[in-house]
Amino acid sequence: MAAAARALRVLPRVPSATRQLHTTPACLKTRAARVRVGKGDKLVTYEQAHPPHHIGHRKGWLSLHTGNLCGEAGAAQRAVEDAFLRRFLYGTFPGLLADEVVLKRRGNLLVICALLGRALPPHKLYFLLGYTETLLSHFYKCPVRLELQTVPARVPYKCL
């Protein structure tokens, strides 16, 4: 039970083999963002079940911005902001995130779309929504909109 809960934790980390410090921009391709096959007790969502080479074919993008287009700047800043936002939301909604958070940037506006479980009562969710929006908009100096949707349970795609 604890193993399954740990496996479904939202931020999948690249398992660092023996090193603690990554200094080169290398990423072990054969193990990145993949959930390894186990005994059949791990429930995996559609997002987690597909490895990253399926992005654009069977998967969509989780973070939509123009930084990575040809001739556009700001990719590194957006990447840092995305990493911070995912950790912040993982901590603000403890144990509630059903799937990865989708970040959309339209001009100056930052739209965060999150799927939550139904563990908290609605008034607490509204408080957390307002708190996140005000804090992040003051922090990043841009309008931030958080769009939440609650689902009864995580939707499993596969058992690995």
Partner 1 sequence: NLMGARLSGSYGDTQEPKTNPLVSISDEPETLYKRLSILIKGHDKAVLDSYEYFAVLAAKELGISVEKVDKPPKTIERFTLLKSVHIYKKHRVQYEMRTHYMCLELKYLTSSTAAVYLEYVQRNLPEGVAMEVKKTKIEKIPEHIRKPVWDTLPQVEETEVKS
> Binding residues for partner 1, per CB under 8 A?
19, 22-30, 56, 60-61, 64-66, 68-72, 104-107, 111
State which residue, 38 or 52, has the beta carbon closest to partner 1: 52
Shortest reach from residue 118's CB to partner 1, in Å: 28
Least distance (Å) from partner 1 to the CB of residue 104?
4
> 32: which residues sit within 8 A by CB, 6+ positions away?
14, 51, 52
Q: Min. distance of Cβ 92 from partner 1 in angstroms?
A: 22
Distances (CA, A) of 108 to 5, 58, 69, 147: 36, 29, 17, 16
CB of residue 2 to partner 1, shortest distance in Å: 30
Angle between helix axes 122-140 and 75-92 (nearest 10 degrees) is: 150
Q: Which is nearer to partner 1, 97 or 110 (CB)?
A: 110
Taking the least distance from each CB to partner 1, the nearer of 55 and 135 is: 55
**How many CA atoms within 13 Å lie on the side-chain side of 124?**
9
Beta carbon nearer to partner 1, 50 or 65: 65
Q: Output the smallest distance, CB 148 to partner 1, in A.
A: 18
Q: How many CB atoms lie within 10 A of CB 103?
A: 21
Q: Nearer Cβ to partner 1, position 25 or 121? A: 25
Question: How does DSSP assign 87-99, residue by residue?
Answer: HHHHHHSTTTB-S
Rounded to an integer, what is the distance from CA 125 to the centroid of its chain?
A: 19
